[in-house]
Chain A
């Protein structure tokens, strides 16, 4: 049973560039959430996708956008990168249905220079 996968593992970009991160959910899951974890902090909720639509959004600017495909995989796009966007980006998968358990991928570590 494949767990949550994310790609790439690491990424280095410069300010102003755009980046796309990818996530494949755990087999059987249909909901993908994205979190940003700055150094020394707990993860912060960015947004969630279900049925190919953004369903909830945290306190992040619209430079952060996403997409979900029919196979439930998801992308996180960040435009006009800032130094402060350097973080570990985590994808979580779950079933839809209220307050169900979420499972996380290994993360993508983004460095913005």
Chain B
């Protein structure tokens, strides 16, 4: 099956700093989503981005499908940005319903005041 690798595994930032989180995948994908998991375990949707660039406030994401990677940018980080960031991809489209997501192991971000 497809392999999803995220880097770095851990990241510590001072409040106000910028960061780039990377997601590499081993094969072509039909969908890619970025999530933020809060301390209570809830996965919060950040971006649905199979290709191209999107921005939402201080966050933006770019997926270069032909080179098999995606980047999540966080600018002017805040303590509330702390948590685990997951990248998840769809390799094979299942036409009978929706397609399963394959997740990376996540990046743990700590933003210090």
Binding site for B on A (CB under 8 A): 31, 33, 35, 37, 40-45, 48-51, 55-56, 58, 88, 90, 92, 94-107, 109
Residues of A contacting B96 in the complex (Cβ-Cβ under 8 angstroms): 50, 55-56, 96
Q: Is the CB of A107 within 8 A of B50?
A: no
- Chain B interface category by residue count: 20 to 34
Which of A50, A58, A88, A103 contacts B41, CB < 8 Å? A88
Residues of B contacting A40 in the complex (Cβ-Cβ under 8 angstroms): 105
Residues of B contacting A31 in the complex (Cβ-Cβ under 8 angstroms): 97-98
Cα A97 to Cα B45 with chains together (Å): 19
Cα A53 to Cα B78 with chains together (Å): 43
Cα A106 to Cα B97 with chains together (Å): 23
Binding site for A on B (CB under 8 A): 4, 30-31, 33, 35, 40-43, 45, 48, 50, 86, 88, 90, 93-106
Which of A44, A56, A104 contacts B43, CB < 8 Å? A104
Q: Is the CB of B41 within 8 A of A106?
A: yes
Which of A41, A49, A106 contacts B42, CB < 8 Å? A106
Residue of A nearest to B90 (CB): A99
Residues of A contacting B106 in the complex (Cβ-Cβ under 8 angstroms): 41-42
Residue of B nearest to A103 (CB): B45
Q: Is the CB of B101 within 8 A of A45?
A: yes
Q: Is the CB of B93 within 8 A of A99?
A: yes
Distance (whole angstroms) from the CB of A46 to the closest CB of chain B = 9
Given contacts A31-B98, A42-B88, A50-B98, contact A102 B33 (CB under 8 A): yes
Distance (whole angstroms) from the CB of A49 to the closest CB of chain B = 8
29 contacts between A and B (CB under 8 A): A31-B97, A33-B100, A33-B101, A35-B101, A42-B4, A42-B88, A42-B106, A44-B103, A45-B100, A45-B102, A48-B97, A50-B96, A50-B97, A56-B96, A56-B97, A56-B100, A88-B41, A90-B43, A96-B98, A98-B95, A98-B98, A98-B99, A99-B90, A100-B98, A101-B48, A104-B35, A104-B42, A107-B41, A109-B41
Among B35, B42, B88, residue most surrounded by chain A Cβ atoms (within 10 Å) = B42
Q: Is the CB of A95 within 8 A of B98?
A: yes
